């Protein structure tokens, strides 16, 4: 299940291959995938756009586009070089505000670069044909077994991302700020870590791993965390996300259809560092106590009863 580290890995691996590539055709096979605009407007607006910038916010992928032909005569006179020259120019198109393709993979979504002879299956919901480039992949496809993933095409990405809390690996995320957001909350800290308005990008895996490293019981009410616990939790969230990125995400056992893999098809490596997630009944690496599993906020939750004592 793609969380912040998995999405970051996607963005980093897609960027060099997708940069400068132009979309010449788009086909939507499962209309609900497109959150906005209508499917007709989506396909019409995106054709002719070129992938230009690659970013991430929480679990959202942000693919910045530029219009290939423009009202700017100077830019229009420039022949395409065909080389990767990341331009920092802000919307040279003048009147038209740049479009951003926003992708949320949710549970089982994948955004993959594939050869032209790739055969779309029943899980291939959107196909972008790219203008051919020697040696480059020919198509970008969105594949999603469970169909929870969503794609937006917007000129105002802020509107899609408005509800998100601070970016955890930035200075916007701090123990004090976290404490302020939690102070009035009675829900379990586990449930609150999954709330994207508290901090953006943490999902079920990294929430459990962060709470274990911080030594905090998952049912502890958010508002009862002490300053010391807030410090530990903040540090633990940053640590597990950073390590997750360094290890290119967590690929769990299970079916190939549903498991996260990198755009290249290779697995990530952070699952080898999981200390509690999906280790129910197995000995804690620190104290040998069997890892426990409970359900919180409709999510399976794993923790060590000894290392994460209750004291609320």
Partner DNA sequence: ATAAGGCCCTGACCGC
Partner DNA sequence: TGCGGTCAGGGCCTTA
Q: Write out the catalytic residue numbers.
A: 2-3, 59, 299
- Compute how many residues bind DNA; rule: CB under 7 A: 35
Q: Which of 9, 10, 11, 58 binds DNA (CB under 7 A)?
A: 58
The site map against DNA for 4-23 (x = CB under 7 A) is --------------------
32 binds DNA (CB under 7 A): yes
| Closest distance of CB 217 from DNA, Å | 16
Rg (CA), the chain: 21
**x/- binding map, residues 184-223, to DNA, per CB under 7 A?**
xxxx---xx-x-x------xx-----------------x-
| Interface stretch with DNA, choices 9-17, 48-56, 64-72, 101-109 (CB under 7 A) | 101-109
Is residue 146 close enough to count as binding DNA by CB under 7 A?
A: yes
Task: Give one DSSP letter per residue of 66-133, joined into a string.
Answer: EESS-S-HHHHHSPP--S--------TTTTSPPPEEEEE-TTTEEEEEE-TT----TTEEEEEEEPP-
C-alpha closest to that of 179 among 217, 233, 220 = 233
Judged by CB under 7 A, which stretch of 9-17, 73-81, 134-142, 146-154 contacts DNA?
146-154
Q: Which two tokens stand for residue 50?
A: 């070129």
| Cβ neighbour number for residue 239 with a 10 Å cutoff | 15
Q: Which residues of 50-69 are buried (b: 16+ CB within 10 A; e: fewer)?
A: bbbbbebbbbbbbbbbbbbe
Between 43 and 301, CB nearer to DNA: 301
* CA distances in angstroms from 154 to 88, 148, 312, listed in the order given: 20, 19, 44
Single out the residue of 32, 63, 58, 33 nearest to residue 46, CA to CA: 63
Whole-number Å distance between alpha carbons of 185 and 55: 31
Q: If phi over 0 gives left and psi between -120 and 50 gives alpha, with beta otherwise, what is residue 281?
A: left
Query: Nearer Cβ to DNA, position 93 or 195?
Result: 195
Nearer to DNA, 29 or 70 (CB): 29
User: Which of 106, 242, 269, 285: binder of DNA (CB under 7 A)?
Assistant: 106
Stretch that binds DNA, among 38-46, 143-151, 243-251, 262-270 (CB under 7 A): 143-151
CB of 35 to DNA, least distance (A): 8
Nearer to DNA, 3 or 209 (CB): 3
Among 255, 265, 272, 281, binds DNA (CB under 7 A): 255
Q: Which two tokens stand for residue 157?
A: 């990405």
Among 17, 36, 53, 145, binds DNA (CB under 7 A): 145
Q: Closest separation between CB of residue 223 and DNA, Å?
A: 7
Show Cβ contacts of residue 121 under 8 Å, excluding neighbours closer than 6 positions. Answer: 143
CA distances from 41 to 26, 28, 46, 127, 161 (A): 11, 11, 8, 15, 21
Q: Applying CB under 7 A, which residues contact DNA?
A: 1, 3, 32, 58-59, 104, 106-107, 122-123, 145-148, 163, 184-187, 191-192, 194, 196, 203-204, 222, 254-255, 257-258, 295, 297-300
């Amino acid at each position: 299940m793609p969380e912040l580290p998995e999405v970051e890995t996607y963005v980093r691996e897609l960027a060099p291959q997708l940069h400068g590539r132009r979309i010449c055709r788009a086909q939507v096979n499962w209309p609900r995938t497109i959150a906005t605009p209508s499917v007709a407007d989506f396909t019409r607006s995106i054709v002719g756009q070129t992938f230009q910038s690659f970013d991430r916010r929480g679990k959202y992928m942000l693919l910045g586009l530029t219009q290939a032909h423009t009202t700017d005569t100077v830019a229009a006179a420039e022949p395409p070089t065909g080389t990767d020259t990341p331009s920092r120019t802000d919307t040279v198109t003048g009147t038209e505000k740049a479009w951003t393709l926003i992708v949320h993979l949710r549970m089982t979504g994948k955004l993959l670069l594939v050869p032209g002879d790739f055969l779309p299956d029943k899980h291939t919901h959107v196909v972008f044909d790219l203008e051919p480039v020697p040696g480059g992949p020919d198509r970008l496809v969105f594949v999603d077994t469970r169909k929870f993933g969503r794609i937006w095409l917007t000129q105002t990405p802020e509107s899609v991302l408005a509800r998100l809390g601070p970016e955890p690996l930035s200075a916007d995320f701090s123990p004090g700020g976290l404490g302020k957001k939690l102070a009035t909350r009675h829900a379990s800290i586990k449930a609150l870590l999954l709330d994207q308005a508290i901090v953006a990008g943490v999902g079920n895996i990294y929430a459990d791993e962060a709470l274990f490293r911080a030594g905090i019981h998952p049912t502890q009410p958010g508002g009862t965390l002490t300053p010391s616990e807030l410090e530990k939790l903040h540090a633990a969230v940053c640590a597990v996300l950073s390590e997750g990125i360094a290890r290119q995400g967590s690929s769990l056992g299970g079916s190939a259809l549903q498991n996260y893999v990198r755009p290249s098809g290779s697995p990530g490596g952070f699952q080898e560092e999981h200390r509690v997630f999906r280790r129910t009944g197995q000995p804690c690496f620190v104290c040998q106590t069997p890892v426990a599993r409970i359900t919180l906020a409709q999510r399976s939750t794993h923790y060590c009863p000894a290392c994460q004592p209750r004291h609320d």
